[in-house]
């Protein structure tokens, strides 16, 4: 395909699981592949594909009812809502000291990390009851219904054969 479209126009190889593929004599083939080239990759238009998150499944294994999260037991959130805690920091040290006052303590990002938002943003997030103490750190409260989808990658394990029939 490189000869037809040019190697600079290669986009991805998508592996997708087949529903059958058992072979008695050799290694079973349980996946097929789509090779994706663009006519002109530099002007390719692409829209992300998403899969709905299902509690307990890939991308949503750590979500649980807010009522079961000790740090949120007195929050005003709907206690049956599904949530998990997430990091409030990203890699890379900040050039200035960023002190975040929360629950009567002053929190700073650990060495080599920085807050994902400004101190003002952290304060607003805390007022919305979206920050909680988690051990020796503060964490973000992420609810499943905030964005109940996960972007697809080039590995399609879920049953997608119906997607090609539309």
| Other beta carbons less than 10 A from residue 100's beta carbon | 21
Tokens matching residue 73 = 């037991």
Strand 131-134 relative to strand 64-65, pairing? unpaired
99 and 159 part of one domain: no
* pTM summary value: 0.70
Query: Is 97 inside any structural domain?
Result: yes
Q: What is the pLDDT of residue 162?
A: 45
Assess if residue 57 is contained within a domain: no
What does each C-alpha distance from 19 to 14, 29, 58 come to in angstroms?
16, 10, 19
My answer on whether 23 and 70 are in the same domain is: no
> What DSSP element (H or E) covers 119?
helix 119-127
Q: Are residues 114 and 128 in the same domain?
A: yes
C-beta separation of 78 from 141 below 8 A: no
40 and 96 belong to one structural domain? no
Residue 46 maps to a domain: yes
Domain hosting residue 45, numbered range: 2-52+152-165
Question: Which residue's entry shows tokens 């072979």?
Answer: 23
Q: Which helix (H) or strand (E) holds 5?
A: helix 2-5
Q: What is the pLDDT of residue 21?
A: 64
In the predicted model, residues of the chain with pLDDT beneath 70 are: 21-23, 158-166
Please tell me the total count of domains within the chain.
2
For position 159, what pLDDT does the model report?
Answer: 52
Task: Tell me if 92 is assigned to some domain.
Answer: yes
One domain for residues 46 and 68: no
Q: What's the pLDDT score for residue 23?
A: 67
Whether residue 135 sits in one domain with residue 76: yes
Give the pLDDT of residue 107.
Answer: 95
Indicate whether 106 and 87 sit together in one domain.
yes
* Cβ neighbours around 23 below 10 Å, total: 9
For residues 72 and 141, state if they share a domain.
yes
**28 and 96 both lie in a single domain:** no
């Amino acid at each position: 395909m490189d000869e037809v479209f040019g190697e600079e126009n290669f986009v991805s190889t998508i592996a997708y699981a087949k529903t059958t593929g058992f072979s008695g004599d050799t290694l079973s083939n349980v996946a097929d592949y789509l090779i994706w080239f663009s006519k002109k990759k530099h002007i390719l238009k692409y829209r992300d594909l998403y899969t709905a998150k299902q509690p307990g499944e890939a991308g949503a294994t750590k979500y649980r009812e807010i009522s079961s999260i000790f740090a949120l037991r007195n929050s005003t959130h709907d206690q049956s809502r599904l949530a998990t805690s997430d990091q409030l920091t990203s890699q890379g040290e900040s050039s200035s000291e960023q002190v975040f006052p929360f629950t009567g303590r002053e929190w700073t990002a650990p060495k080599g990390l920085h807050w994902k938002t400004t101190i003002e943003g952290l304060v607003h997030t805390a007022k919305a009851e979206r920050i909680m103490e988690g051990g020796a750190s503060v964490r973000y409260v992420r609810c499943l219904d905030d964005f109940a989808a996960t972007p697809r990658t080039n590995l399609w394990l879920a049953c997608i054969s119906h997607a090609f029939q539309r």
